[in-house]
Structure 1
Amino acid sequence: MTTTNRPPLDGDLFAALPGVDEETQARLHARLAAASDRTGILDVAYRTLETPVGSLLLAATGEGLVRVAYAREDHEKVLEQLATDVSPRVLRAPARLDGTARELEEYFAGRRHLFDLPLDFRLARGFRRTVLSHLREIGYGATASYATVAQAAGSPRAVRAVGTACATNPLPIVVPCHRVVRSDGTIGQYVGGTEAKKALLGLEAAV
């Protein structure tokens, strides 16, 4: 259940057992995930979701969604970091994240403009957390400059720090750092890559 000697992300804890077919493996894993959740020993549940901007890793604690990661961030490394920063009790438990997956699918289908999910901000601290709280004030289909966000966060001169907060946002898409652009109107950098940022802004502009 920890990240030590973790099997491949798309595998499960029973993949190495001889003579166990995939259906049985999946059933055993589901039972383990359910039992771990029920007994309170599952601290971080995760799953992946295929989207128009690639495969996303979704992870949640008992408090809420704690991490959304693009494939370019390396999902295995993200899980290892969660084991270090949150808890070593990490397990693939898709059912725990069904609600998150459903809201993201609705967003990419153009049917959802606001996420209604409990969020766990423990991976963001200090000024970075303050910035993330203001990002959620940027409406769907709108953008704001890094300078505007810095002013809203109470530090007008901290434009570079706002850029760092966006680049290290643990909850991209749900906390919309993709809506922050440069003062000259160019889109700037993005944790998911510039193509993903263009795709998200294009999706929201199309509605």
Structure 2
Amino acid sequence: MADTATAPVAVEHDGAMAAGGETHAVTEHPEPMLLGFIPPAAVVSSSMLVLLAIALWKGVPKSIGKGLDSQIAGIKAQLEEAKTLRAEAEALRKEYADKIAGAEKDAAAMLDHARNEANAIIAKAEADTADVIVRREKMAQDKIKAAELAAVADLRMQAADAATAAARGLIAGNHSADADKVLVNQAIAGI
């Protein structure tokens, strides 16, 4: 590799080269020819035309078209399947969203129903408790009255027994058989 700083620079200009001020004639290379007179561009063009003619003769464009058509049909089928799957997914999403909304409504209704039942149970318990209290108060008052009546009856009986004993003692002490006769005669005369 030559050092570019020290080597003379060669410049091409109209077929002549100047390197460090010297001029040299450049020789042109002859272009290759097929059979001596057909240029390479014609050979490439004609071989391309032959290749295209063979491809057309063998039906390559039709097979390429069929292949592309089958791929297009496959892609269309996949798109239709994707649309169907998307519609099903949307339907499922809507169904589950409706179920969730229904479940939330059901849960709210059940909670409201449970609250109402709890309030009804509490109200019934309070009413039953009040009824039990009233009945027990009445029973207690009835027992108190019965005890008072029993006590009054017992006191009357004791008073009657005491009065009878006192009367017996007074009568026995103050009345004799003669006094009894007089009283019996008065009672008979009063009839």
TM-score, normalised with respect to structure 1: 0.16
Q: Flag the structure with higher helix content.
A: 2
By percentage of residues, which structure has more strand?
1
TM-score between both structures, scaled by the size of structure 2: 0.17
| Bigger Rg over Cα | 2
Which gives a bigger RCO, structure 1 or 2 (Cα 8 Å, sep 6+)?
A: 1
